């Protein structure tokens, strides 16, 4: 049992001798119990911040099987090359014969977002089938940062792109980035 003892006031040297008074005694048991109840209450009712995570479906195999390759119309494919200095180079179609681009833009609402929104609206009209929308291929270079990849995945989420993938960048695409000056250290 917790208690608080106080000096009774007698027994000082010199002076008058006084009779000892019974010291006051405060029982702290109830206050300790209350403190533990409050701590327990606040620990159980406080919600902790949960990390926000984005679901990304990754392939099962490491080997590339020729039967797994999917042929896609060039007018539905938009490729984003993530370069250095927080820049993106995009093009429609293939890198050898682009339908549109390549063009260098920044991240965010004034950079890649309006282009993505335009292409997401334009491609189903071109194909004539609302089920055949834009397919975005994201290809980070070794000069881009992890933050760049997270930013472009956030952009895909913001514009509600249904089909996108992360692929490996090829040597000709690296040459395009070098040519345009966004493959620097």
pLDDT of residue 1: 54
Q: Is the dihedral of CA 46, 49, 50, 52 positive or negative?
A: positive
Distances, alpha carbon 78 to alpha carbons 75, 114, 134, in Å: 8, 14, 7
Query: pTM for this structure?
Result: 0.64
Residue 57, SS3 per DSSP:
coil
pLDDT of residue 6: 57
pLDDT of residue 85: 86
pLDDT of residue 66: 61
CA–CA gap between residue 134 and residue 119 (Å, rounded): 7
Contact between 82 and 140 under an 8 Å Cβ cutoff? The reply is: yes
pLDDT of residue 34: 93
Average pLDDT of each block of 10 consecutive residues along the chain (185 residues)? 57 66 78 93 83 68 61 81 89 84 86 90 82 87 89 90 88 87 81
For residue 75, give the DSSP letter. G
Rounded (10°) CA dihedral 69, 160, 115, 176? -40
Name the helix (H) or strand (E) containing 4. strand 3-5
For residue 51, give the DSSP letter. P
């Amino acid at each position: 049992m917790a208690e608080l003892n106080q000096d009774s006031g007698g027994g000082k040297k010199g002076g008058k001798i006084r009779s000892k008074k019974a010291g006051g005694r405060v029982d702290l048991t109830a206050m300790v119990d209350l403190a533990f109840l409050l701590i327990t209450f606040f620990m159980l009712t406080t919600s902790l911040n949960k990390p926000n995570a984005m679901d990304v479906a990754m392939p099962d195999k490491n080997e590339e099987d020729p039967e797994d390759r999917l042929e896609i119309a060039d007018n539905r494919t938009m490729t984003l090359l993530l370069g250095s200095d927080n820049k993106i180079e995009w093009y429609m179609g293939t890198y050898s014969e682009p339908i549109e681009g390549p063009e260098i833009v920044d991240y965010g609402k004034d950079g890649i977002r309006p282009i993505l929104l335009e292409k997401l609206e334009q491609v189903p009209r071109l194909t004539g089938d609302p089920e055949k929308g834009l397919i975005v291929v994201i290809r980070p270079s070794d000069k881009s940062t992890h933050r760049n990849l997270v930013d472009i995945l956030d952009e895909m989420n913001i514009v509600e792109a249904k089909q996108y993938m992360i692929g490996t960048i090829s040597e000709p695409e690296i040459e395009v980035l070098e040519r345009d000056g966004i493959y620097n250290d």
